Each structure stands twice: as structure tokens, then as C-alpha cells.
Amino acid sequence: MKGNADPLITGVYNTCRGNSIDVVGKHLSEVLPKLKRQITDITQDVLGPEDVAKLYGARWEIELIFKELKSRYALDVVNTKNAQIVEAYI
């Protein structure tokens, strides 16, 4: 894992005896300073090339939709910060 990665902990496989801390739902950078053990076992999901291509394709479609919303419907100049109103526009 890269040094600047800060993954979210989504589950724990085993709990150690003693004074264990709850780590689920926290980022790794939050819990590392509190850990006493020298070794941390981490499982990381890795996407295959096909999955990356699908995600990039979906991202590109979303970019095109936002480009159209800005150019045709002037949604880049909505005069509100209210989330409900922005959702209603979209």
C-alpha cells in the first residue's frame, strides 16, 4: 500500500484479548497511533482491468451529463447552497 493511502476500515476478522479498540468505520491514520502490536493484517480489494475500464466509462458518462447540464441548462450558476434545491434542479 502506498504511504499516503488512508483506507476506511470496514471490518475486523479477529479481536485480540485485552484492551482492544474499536476500529471499524475509522480511517487507518486514526487508529495506527493507538495500536500496540507491531503487525497489522490488512486485506485489500483490488480491481481488475475490466472493472477499472467500466468504472472509468461510467465516470466519463457522468462528466458528459454534467457538461450538458451546465451548457444547456445553466446549472453551473444555481444561486443556492441548499442541497434539496440543487437536487430538484438536477
The pLDDT, as a whole number, for residue 62 is: 92
Query: For the whole model, what pTM was predicted?
Result: 0.44
| Model pLDDT for residues 14-70, shown as the tens digit of each residue | 776 777 778 888 888 898 888 777 666 777 777 888 998 999 999 999 999 989 988
Of 44, 64, 75, the residue nearest 56 (C-alpha): 64
The pLDDT, as a whole number, for residue 38 is: 67
The pLDDT, as a whole number, for residue 1 is: 67
The conformational region for residue 36 under phi > 0 = left, psi -120 to 50 = alpha, else beta, is alpha
| Model pLDDT for residues 64-89, shown as the tens digit of each residue | 998 998 888 887 787 888 889 888 87
